[in-house]
Amino acid sequence: MKRLLLCVTILITLNMCFALETTLSEQPVGFASVDALGLNGTTGGLGGKVVYVKTGEELEKWSSSEEKYIIVIDGEIIFEPRREIKLTSNKTVIGINNAKLIGAGFIIKNQENIVIRNIHFEGFYMEDDPQGKKYDYDYINIEGSHHVWIDHCTFVNGNDGAVDITKFSSYVTVSWCKFVDHDKVSLVGSSDREDPQKASDSYKVTYHHNYFKNCIQRMPRVRFGTVHVFNNFYSAGFRTNVSGNVVPLYAIASTTNARVHVEANYFMGFGAKLMEEANVAFIPTTVTAGSSPEGYLSLGNNEAENIFVYCKEPQVKFLRESEPVFEPRQFYNYKLNSANEVPKIVVENSGSGKLVFVDIET
């Protein structure tokens, strides 16, 4: 009996070690924190009524409401048929009790001030459409919207995008998320044909402390925008049990005159030295993708230096020789972890099911 109690105590202690206490009023780091376009950062539904949902019908009802709400997804919800749920302005959507959306995602179109945290997304891979051309489902699709914070979510193996940011969206932060076995992870910018001035003024996005595990490309793939990528862990391995792309291609792509600054990330390629010498190793950063013209990309130095293991040489392109293509601290403050700390910190703390909201009932 004593041994059983000891084992239970150890399990509880281990679970507590990986539980991260947070509040509904916690603020993002990065572009979602910036005062702009009439908003003082991103607060979501803070101050609104708290509603708990356990069914798809309840989630769709509150997500599309015009009022301010804090929507708490309690446990797993399975959608059949699959669908993208309309999510409107001034909403916070959080998960408790290992919240999962199976076969559903959110579409955020012409909205503002939205927070999504602690939710697992799965079920958008369809074997008859491995490239995402037929169904075009994204787990989170942000179009023409601003001030969106996506935090501590998990995205597993979808057909199209996991988090796509298009149609001149801006002031977005994607933080502490886990992306697993996904092909086209995150697109920033709709096409090369968008109005270049409007697009350059938009697409301000931050990615930090995310875990990209066995993903193929677009982590992110940027057109026109101003994007900061720091303290992410890229673990490139073969994607399994799919008919689509299985071999990792590249992590970060800056195209169409985008400005992307990359700091203190850890890039771990796949295979061994032989693959590196055979010139089929993982590309950590590139300034080309598809038929798009080149973008600008700079790497951090000194304490912001990145680490590259079993990767091809990272590509860079400067506006001014050896200078960052933009300075993130002109927009917001942030604290960097050193790149050699990133794998442990990010693996232990990223993804859904890690947050405990101390100011709501669970």
The reported pLDDT for the residue numbered 135 is 80
Residue 97 is assigned to a structural domain of this protein? no
Residue 335 is assigned to a structural domain of this protein? yes
Q: Is the dihedral of CA 341, 344, 348, 351 positive or negative?
A: positive
Residue 156 is assigned to a structural domain of this protein? yes
Residue ranges for the chain with pLDDT beneath 70: 1-18, 271-280
- Residue 242 identity: V
The C-alpha atoms of residue 118 and residue 350 are separated, in whole angstroms, by: 10
The C-alpha atoms of residue 339 and residue 267 are separated, in whole angstroms, by: 9
The C-alpha atoms of residue 102 and residue 59 are separated, in whole angstroms, by: 13
The reported pLDDT for the residue numbered 134 is 79
What CATH code is carried by the domain that includes residue 310?
Answer: 2.160.20.10
Question: Which tens digits make up the pLDDT trace of 202-214?
Answer: 999 999 999 999 9
The total number of structural domains that make up the chain: 1
Residue 213 is assigned to a structural domain of this protein? yes
Is residue 218 flagged as an active site residue? Answer: yes
Residue 317 is assigned to a structural domain of this protein? yes
The C-alpha atoms of residue 188 and residue 225 are separated, in whole angstroms, by: 7
Instruction: Provide the CB-side half-sphere exposure for 279 (13 A, CA).
Output: 0
Residue 119 is assigned to a structural domain of this protein? no
Give me the domain span that covers residue 281.
Answer: 124-354
The reported pLDDT for the residue numbered 240 is 81
Q: For 30-51, b where at least 16 C-beta lie within 10 A, e where not — what string?
A: bbbbbeeeeeebbbbbbebeee
- Residue 294 identity: E
At residue 348, the 3 state secondary structure works out as helix
Residues 362/96, Cβ–Cβ less than 8 Å: yes
Which of 117, 218, 223, 259 is the catalytic position? 218
Residue 70 is assigned to a structural domain of this protein? no
Residue 270 is assigned to a structural domain of this protein? yes
